[in-house]
C-alpha cells in the first residue's frame, strides 16, 4: 500500500455560509464556494467551484483591498415535488483580503462550466535605474 493511499482523505461537505447576521433577500441560503489558490511567477490564481452560476449571475468586485465573489444561482426546478434532493440550491459568497503585492488594475476573471478563475497578477518589481544627481 502506498503512503498516499493509506492516508485518509477528508472532503468538506457543502455548508451554509455564516453571514454574521446579514440576511439574503432572495430567501435562498448562501454557500462559501470551495476554492483552490495557486501561485506562479506572474501571480496568484483563485479557482472557485460555483455550479449553477451563469456568467450574468456572477459579480467579482474589489474595494478597500478586499476581493468579493458573489454568484447568483437560478433554480431550474420550480413547482415540482422532489423525490430525492441531495443538492441544495443557493447563492455563493466569498471574500479575500489582497496584499499590496497584487496589481489590482490587472485582475481578470472568467467562468466556464461552473468554475470561476480569477487571475491576480503580482506587481512588477522595481527595476534598477540610474538616478541623476543635480546641483542646486
Residue 107 binned pLDDT confidence (cut-offs 50, 70, 90): very high
Distance (Å, whole) CA 84 – CA 95 = 32
User: Which pLDDT band holds residue 6 (cuts at 50, 70, 90)?
Assistant: very low
Residue 55 lies in a domain: yes
**CATH number of residue 110's parent domain:** 2.60.40.790
pLDDT (tens digit, 9 = 90+) per residue, 32-58?
A: 999 999 999 999 999 999 988 999 999
35, 46 in Cβ contact below 8 A?
yes
Range of the structural domain that residue 94 is part of: 28-75+85-121
Neighbours of 44 (CB within 10 A): 19
Q: Please state whether the predicted TM-score (pTM) of the whole model is above 0.75.
A: no
- Average pLDDT on 15-37 reads 68
If one counts the domains in the chain, the total is 1
- Asked if residue 131 is part of any domain, the answer here is no
pLDDT in tens, 56-78: 999 999 999 999 999 998 766 66
Amino acid at each position: 500500500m502506498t503512503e498516499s493511499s493509506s492516508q485518509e482523505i477528508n472532503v468538506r461537505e457543502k455548508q451554509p455560509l455564516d453571514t454574521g447576521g446579514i440576511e439574503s433577500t432572495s430567501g435562498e441560503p448562501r454557500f462559501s464556494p470551495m476554492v483552490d489558490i495557486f501561485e506562479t511567477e506572474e501571480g496568484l490564481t483563485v479557482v472557485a467551484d460555483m455550479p449553477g452560476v451563469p456568467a450574468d449571475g456572477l459579480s467579482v468586485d474589489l474595494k478597500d483591498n478586499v476581493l468579493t465573489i458573489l454568484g447568483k444561482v437560478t433554480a431550474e426546478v420550480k413547482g415540482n415535488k422532489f423525490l430525492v434532493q441531495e443538492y441544495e440550491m443557493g447563492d455563493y459568497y466569498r471574500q479575500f483580503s489582497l496584499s499590496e503585492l497584487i496589481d489590482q488594475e490587472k485582475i481578470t476573471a472568467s467562468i466556464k462550466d461552473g468554475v470561476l478563475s480569477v487571475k491576480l497578477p503580482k506587481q512588477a518589481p522595481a527595476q534598477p535605474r540610474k538616478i541623476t544627481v543635480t546641483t542646486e
